[in-house]
Amino acid sequence: MKSVERLKKHSDFRWAEGLSGGRYRFAGTFGHLGIASVLFGALTLTWSFTARAAEDSTPAPAASSEGASGLASFSPTPTSLGLLTKEPAPSPSTNTPAPYSLPWQLRPIVAPTVIRSDTSIAAYENAASTGGTTIVTSVLAAYKIPGTGGPSVGLSPVARLTMINDSPPAGNGGLAVVNPLVGAGYAMKFGGGFRANFFLGVTLPVGMGGGDAPDPGVANSRSKGVLARSAMDNALFAVNDLTVIPGVGIAYVAHGLTVQAEATLLQLTRVRGDKVQQEASKTNFTSGIHVGYFVASLVSLSAELRYQRWINAPFVVEKDTTDTLVDNLTVGVGPRFHFKLGDSMWIRPGIAYSRGLDKPMAAAAPNYHILQIDVPVLF
């Protein structure tokens, strides 16, 4: 009994020392637990107020048959039980642009940031059925200026450099760098999938094979480039002329379908080579229709009908008694593939076959067959 009283007295002494700021473990531990209890209570109170606020902001469920009878119906939910729930993932955007079929030789209807390599390999024949080959390669760069419009619309300056090499059936051929092109397009988007693009460009008369005494092989090469590009880019090969090029395009792009039409006027003014080029000015007109469809997310098929006509023709065309040099009608068909390389980077390589539908391109000579390999990388 005395030992019990002695133990009790000893315990009371130790407890008193703990309360008076002693250094015993039990007293220190209880003090830390007390502080933790206060913090836990504060957190619990804050959580309760947050849960209540969220519950009050949630619309009340529709009254059931029991609720209509005067009894409040209650269905437990994670929110009402004070449980934390993960917010649902956002639904996919409904504003994803419709896939666009990029034309072969018409201008894009969109305002792209792009680097594009475009090569045409043209096989032709002379009157003796001896074959020749013309290769035209263009490198184009365009940049969509930020702040000029939303995705795929706005102002996009462009620059293009072209090189040609011709291996004729007889005589001299050669390699030539022809006129560079600079310009800008402004793309617009309307409702219902309709779009438009306005273009203004100029070619600079600094290409090879021009002047009063051009090299015969180089001059022959650059003249062959006109038909190798289906007569749609003839301002690039008119190396004695400064050419102003206004154009407009309209398109319908929706549901995987692209239908695009384009018209372009080319006003050529001679600035050199007057001893070999009689006409001081010429006027040309080009147009085309492109129809493309995505047969799969990575593959589109397209066809393009193109028409070129001289309005104010060169003298050699005016003197042509066959009346076959004044215009050209061509068609191109082929697939294009679409691969995503990054968040906003695509490569869209394509290959197309082009053929003249009338003379001179479809005549027995030169009887053109053209293969186009187009590799644009869009950013």
Arithmetic mean of pLDDT over the chain = 82
Q: What percent of the chain has pLDDT over 90?
A: 72
Whether 348 and 376 have beta carbons less than 8 Å apart is answered as: yes
Tokens of 179: 């006129």
φ, ψ (nearest 5 deg) of residue 7: -65, -40
**Mean pLDDT over residues 214-237, rounded?**
95
3-state secondary structure the chain: CHHHHHHHHHHHHHHHHHHCCCCCHHHHHHHHHHHHHHHHHHHHHHHHHHHHHHHHHCCCCCCCHHHHCCCCCCCCCCCCCCCCCCCCCCCCCCCCCCCCCCCCCCCCCCCCCEEEEEEEEEEEECCCCCEEEEEEEEEEEECCCCCCCCCCCEEEEEEEEEEEEEECCCCCCEEEECCCEEEEEEEEECHHHEEEEEEEEEECCCCCCCCCCCCHHHHHHHHHHHHHCCCCCHHHHCCCEEEEEEEEEEEEEECCEEEEEEEEEEEEEECCCCCCCCCCEEEEEEEEEEEEEEEECCEEEEEEEEEEEEEECCHHHHCCCCCCCCEEEEEEEEEEECEECCCCCEECCEEEEEEECCCCCCCCCCCCEEEEEEEEEEC
* Bridge partners for 140 per DSSP: 116, 160
φ, ψ (nearest 5 deg) of residue 269: -125, 125
**Mean pLDDT over residues 317-335, rounded?**
95
Query: What is the CATH number that goes with domain 114-378?
Result: 2.40.160.40
**Residue positions counted in the chain:** 379
Q: Which residue type sits at 310?
A: W
120 pLDDT above the threshold of 80: yes
Domain positions in the chain are 2-50, 114-378
Question: Which string of b and e fits 329-365 if b means at least 16 CB within 10 Å?
Answer: bbbbebebebeeeeeeeeebebebebebeebbbbeee
The whole-number pLDDT of residue 171 equals: 87
**Mean pLDDT over residues 3-13, rounded?**
42
The whole-number pLDDT of residue 246 equals: 98
The whole-number pLDDT of residue 276 equals: 93
The whole-number pLDDT of residue 96 equals: 63
66-70, 124-128, 333-337, 359-363: least confidently modelled range: 66-70
The whole-number pLDDT of residue 95 equals: 53
31 pLDDT above the threshold of 50: no
Scan for tokens 């009894």, then name that residue. Answer: 71
Q: Which residue type sits at 96?
A: T
The whole-number pLDDT of residue 98 equals: 83
- Cα dihedral sign, 20-25-29-32: positive
Supply angle C-alpha 349, 355, 356, rounded to 5: 140
Per-residue pLDDT tens over the stretch 298-319: 999 999 999 999 999 999 999 9
53 pLDDT above the threshold of 90: no
Which has more confidence, 348 or 53?
A: 348
Per-residue pLDDT tens over the stretch 61-93: 444 333 333 333 334 444 433 434 444 554 444
Per-residue pLDDT tens over the stretch 141-181: 999 999 999 999 999 999 999 999 999 999 888 999 999 99
Which has more confidence, 37 or 329?
A: 329
Supply angle C-alpha 330, 372, 178, rounded to 5: 90
Which has more confidence, 9 or 209?
A: 209
94 pLDDT above the threshold of 70: no
Burial of 210 (0-12, 13-18, 19+ CB in 10 A): buried
- Cα dihedral sign, 181-326-310-320: positive
41-55, 136-150, 174-188: least confidently modelled range: 41-55
pLDDT band at 21 (very low <50, low <70, confident <90, very high): very low
pLDDT band at 260 (very low <50, low <70, confident <90, very high): very high
**Mean pLDDT over residues 95-118, rounded?**
92
